Amino acid sequence: MPWLTSDDVSRWESGRHFDAHSRLGAHPRRGGTWFAVWAPHAESVAVIGDFNSWDAGVNPLTWVGAGLWEVYVRGARINHHYKYRIQRGSYVVDKTDPYARRLEAPVENGSPLAGLSSMVTYSTYKWGDSDWMATRKGPASMGEPVSIYEVHLGSWRRDIGSGGEFPGYRDIAAPLADHVLDMGFTHVELMPVQEHPYYPSWGYQVVGYYAPTHRYGTPDDFRYFVDYLHSRGIGVLLDWVPAHFATDPQGLSYFDGSPLYEYTDPVMRHHPDWGTLVFDYSKPGVRNFLVSNAAYWLDEFHIDGLRFDAVASMLYRDYSRDNWTPNMFGGRENLEAISLLKETNEEAFGRFGNVMMIAEESTAYPGVSAPTYNNGLGFLYKWNMGWMHDTLEFMRQDPINRKFHFNSLTFPLVYAYSEHYALTLSHDEVVHGKGSLWNKMPGDAWQKAANLRLMFGHMWGHPGKKLLFMGSELGQIREWAHDRELDWNLADDPLHAGVRDWVRELNRLYHTEPVLWNEDEGGFQWIDLSDWQNCVVSYRRVSGHHPELAFVLNFTPVPRVGYGVHLPEGEWELVLTSDDVAYGGSGYGLNVGDKVTSEVMVQASDQDAATPASAASGAEEPAARPLALLDLPPLGVIVFKQVRAAK
């Protein structure tokens, strides 16, 4: 009996074969293996491997239709290596299987056979995370704390494992989980683990879309890694790269003697920024490949969500290009890519429900995190790249000049509720000569640490989920590099240990105060954003059912004595101060647990005199507004919780 049915061919032609990985690739059956591949322009295809002495004349594939080929090879079994011999005229090349579940080290260019554990019994791994999978948060996470630790597995720690160059998936699971839980993060997000020959690409130039990289172990080792983190209550998100792919000749490029996975149009084929090839989303086989791949990671490896890399480059045909080909209507939007993004998200939520689909999207494209039935792209969250850019632009200024850049601090609140955002301080900001977050901060070491604590305090106070790249919690001094581990010895320095402890405390506050999860537009309210002269802002996080919090931030190294802040009337308790000596601060002003009272001043003139913001702006304050007089620490953020409202 043939392996590929007429239904397979029909679904393939329509671009709706979203479990293509269950039919294409290598599938062991009854003492042999079925092989199937898409190569519509090839004149002949053969499978070569350990089972036939790599002789292309032994096992030719048969044309099935719609560009699909298949063959059954008796004796081909698990852990045999194989490739496809593709011939078109004088073009003859050996290619790795696009659907290979495992790849050898690049020098060997082979692919051991392995079956899908959901289809056949060839994966030996037994999952133990059924409770986690049944209760994990997907869309429901919008009403929960989400704090993500972004990780590059090969450079997080090198001093663990069995002595190899890289720690294994199994080696890293326990120490990573310990650190994540100690710091209070809810999820890890892995930079791509899909197979990539060029290690300095960090995984963003993929060859093996269906294969966890060999560098850290086997596919079952990766299953163990995910399962273990789930057993500790940690979600696992995975970076996914549907925008472009590596040019390595053994991979997808020019696969069947023609531009198959990439654009046929030479103007659109190459990505000018990354030297890669761009997927042609108009081809049904490409759509089948990508949507199936997203489903594969969510299904086979119990991944809790995918973060789509470089979405902006998919949305616009002129992205980073001087020359480009418009769409059928003459516009710049990539209509086929937009359709693919929607289909992928619909398939993910339709099949798995409680997952997170996240877009790294840097433009103002509307509705990225809106459902597709409302003409959105269907993502759950969008990275807030604007917040990251503007906040770092503000913080890198010398404090004496920050008043001239105040709009960079306050403007992100104009659009904070236009999408479901995740605030990110990601790997993108600590590479390619940009320097570490620590070295973006002005001043001496004490001021750098204080500025970093201040920025993190604002990040956790601002609406949106949180993502922090590994090492930032240590105040990493050196720019991140993929070929060395983080500078863990920095934790021996009190300033760096203080940054770490501050991030831990911010996550603790985030978990315990529901007002910080309030993603409604009324959940954030400015108290005062007008005191640009003194570089002080204050705001409230509110909810109708929980005590509210107030954040007061002083972005200068000048302490403010008796600074008037219009907190709502009542009693307020200091719950956090970034200037605490425990975090390396100066200990100025109130201590955690101290209480202040906000009350109406009898004389308006007294109130005005006590309020620097009022004097600076020339505004006339109404006499009836309650006021609290606070001592603001230098380069610090203080957080109050309302413990008694006015009667």
Which pLDDT tens digit goes with each residue over 234-274? 999 999 999 999 999 889 999 999 999 999 999 999 999 99
Query: What is the structure's pLDDT at 122?
Result: 57
What single letter denotes the amino acid at residue 360?
E
Confidence of residue 511 (pLDDT cuts 50, 70, 90): very high
Confidence of residue 78 (pLDDT cuts 50, 70, 90): confident
Residue 365: CB atoms within 10 A of its CB come to 18
Last residue in a domain, options 349, 379, 409: 379
Confidence of residue 290 (pLDDT cuts 50, 70, 90): very high
Domain span holding position 375:
205-379
Name 404's Cβ contacts closer than 8 Å, sequence gap at least 6.
Answer: 397
Give me 488's structure tokens: 């863990």
Name 519's Cβ contacts closer than 8 Å, sequence gap at least 6.
Answer: 142, 143, 417, 420, 463, 464
- pLDDT at 108 exceeding the cut of 80: no
Query: What is the structure's pLDDT at 112?
Result: 65
Which of 182, 177, 201, 176 shows the shortest CA–CA distance to 191? 201
Based on the fold, state whether residues 77 and 222 are members of the same structural domain: no
> Is 131 inside any structural domain?
no
> Is 480 inside any structural domain?
no
- pLDDT at 39 exceeding the cut of 60: yes
Q: In what order do the strands lie in the sheet with 82-88?
A: 44-49, 82-88, 91-95
Contact by Cβ (8 Å): 414, 386: no
> Is 118 inside any structural domain?
no
Element spanning 447, H or E: helix 445-461
The answer to whether residue 195 is catalytic is no
Q: What are phi and psi of 214, to 5 degrees?
A: -65, -20
* Rounded distance between C-alpha atoms, residue 623 and residue 370, angstroms: 43
What are the pLDDT digits (tens) for 587-645? 999 999 999 999 997 654 444 444 444 444 445 555 578 999 999 999 999 999 999 88
Q: What's the half-sphere exposure (Cβ side, CA atoms, 13 Å) at 201? A: 23
Name 49's Cβ contacts closer than 8 Å, sequence gap at least 6.
Answer: 76, 80, 81, 82, 83, 110
pLDDT mean across residues, the chain? 92
* Rounded distance between C-alpha atoms, residue 341 and residue 368, angstroms: 10
Beta bridge partners of residue 270, listed in sequence order: 277
* Local structure of 430: helix, strand or coil: helix
> Is 393 inside any structural domain?
no
Confidence of residue 107 (pLDDT cuts 50, 70, 90): low
| R_g (Cα) of the chain, nearest Å | 28
Contact by Cβ (8 Å): 44, 57: no
Which of 150, 360, 513, 531 is flagged as catalytic?
360
Range with the poorest average pLDDT among 108-112, 147-151, 371-375, 509-513:
108-112
* Rounded distance between C-alpha atoms, residue 58 and residue 53, angstroms: 9
* Local structure of 324: helix, strand or coil: coil
Q: What is the 3-state secondary structure (H, E, C) of 217-252?
A: CCHHHHHHHHHHHHHCCCEEEEEECCCEECCCCCCC
Using CA atoms, how far residue 303 sits from 103, 122, 132, 225, in Å, is 20, 20, 11, 11
**In Å, how far from its chain's centre is CA 457?**
21
Which of 213, 180, 188, 201 shows the shortest CA–CA distance to 103? 213
Query: What is the structure's pLDDT at 113?
Result: 62
Last residue in a domain, options 379, 397, 415: 379
Residue 561: CB atoms within 10 A of its CB come to 11
Q: DSSP string of 156-204?
A: H-SSSSSSSSS--HHHHHHHHHHHHHHHT-SEEEEPP-EE-S-GGGTT-
Query: What is the structure's pLDDT at 617?
Result: 46
The CATH number of the domain holding residue 21 is 2.60.40.10
The CATH number of the domain holding residue 633 is 2.60.40.1180
Using CA atoms, how far residue 371 sits from 112, 374, 375, in Å, is 40, 5, 7
> Is 633 inside any structural domain?
yes
DSSP character for 123? -
Q: What are phi and psi of 306, to 5 degrees?
A: -120, 135
The CATH number of the domain holding residue 247 is 3.20.20.80
Residue reference for tokens 């005229």: 89
Query: What is the structure's pLDDT at 545?
Result: 85
Which of 598, 561, 594 shows the shortest CA–CA distance to 580? 594
Beta bridge partners of residue 151, listed in sequence order: 190
* Rounded distance between C-alpha atoms, residue 204 and residue 197, angstroms: 10
Q: What's the half-sphere exposure (Cβ side, CA atoms, 13 Å) at 583? A: 34
- pLDDT at 277 exceeding the cut of 80: yes
Contact by Cβ (8 Å): 325, 318: no
Contact by Cβ (8 Å): 269, 262: yes
Q: What is the 3-state secondary structure (H, E, C) of 595-634?
A: EEEEEECCCHHHHHHHCHHHHHHCCCCCCCCEEEEEEECC
Domain count of the fold of the chain: 3
Confidence of residue 584 (pLDDT cuts 50, 70, 90): very high
Q: What's the half-sphere exposure (Cβ side, CA atoms, 13 Å) at 430? A: 26
Give me 476's structure tokens: 């990493």
User: How far does the chain reach from its first CA to its final CA, in angstroms?
Assistant: 81
Dihedral of CA 177/183/188/190: which sign?
Answer: negative
> Is 491 inside any structural domain?
no
* Local structure of 407: helix, strand or coil: helix
Strands 549-554 vs 636-645: parallel, antiparallel or unpaired: antiparallel
Range with the poorest average pLDDT among 21-35, 105-119, 311-325:
105-119
Based on the fold, state whether residues 247 and 372 are members of the same structural domain: yes
Based on the fold, state whether residues 245 and 365 are members of the same structural domain: yes
> Is 52 inside any structural domain?
yes
* Rounded distance between C-alpha atoms, residue 163 and residue 358, angstroms: 35
Based on the fold, state whether residues 218 and 69 are members of the same structural domain: no
The answer to whether residue 304 is catalytic is no
Using CA atoms, how far residue 443 sits from 22, 230, 422, 450, in Å, is 57, 41, 29, 10
Give me the mean pLDDT over the 9-20 stretch: 97
What are the pLDDT digits (tens) for 321-334? 999 999 999 999 99
- pLDDT at 146 exceeding the cut of 70: yes
Based on the fold, state whether residues 78 and 214 are members of the same structural domain: no
> Is 505 inside any structural domain?
no
Based on the fold, state whether residues 356 and 212 are members of the same structural domain: yes
Last residue in a domain, options 69, 95, 121: 95
Q: What percent of the chain has pLDDT over 70?
A: 93
Give me the mean pLDDT over the 494-504 stretch: 98
Which of 309, 390, 429, 548 is flagged as catalytic?
309
Based on the fold, state whether residues 225 and 83 are members of the same structural domain: no
- pLDDT at 87 exceeding the cut of 90: yes
Query: What is the structure's pLDDT at 166?
Result: 85
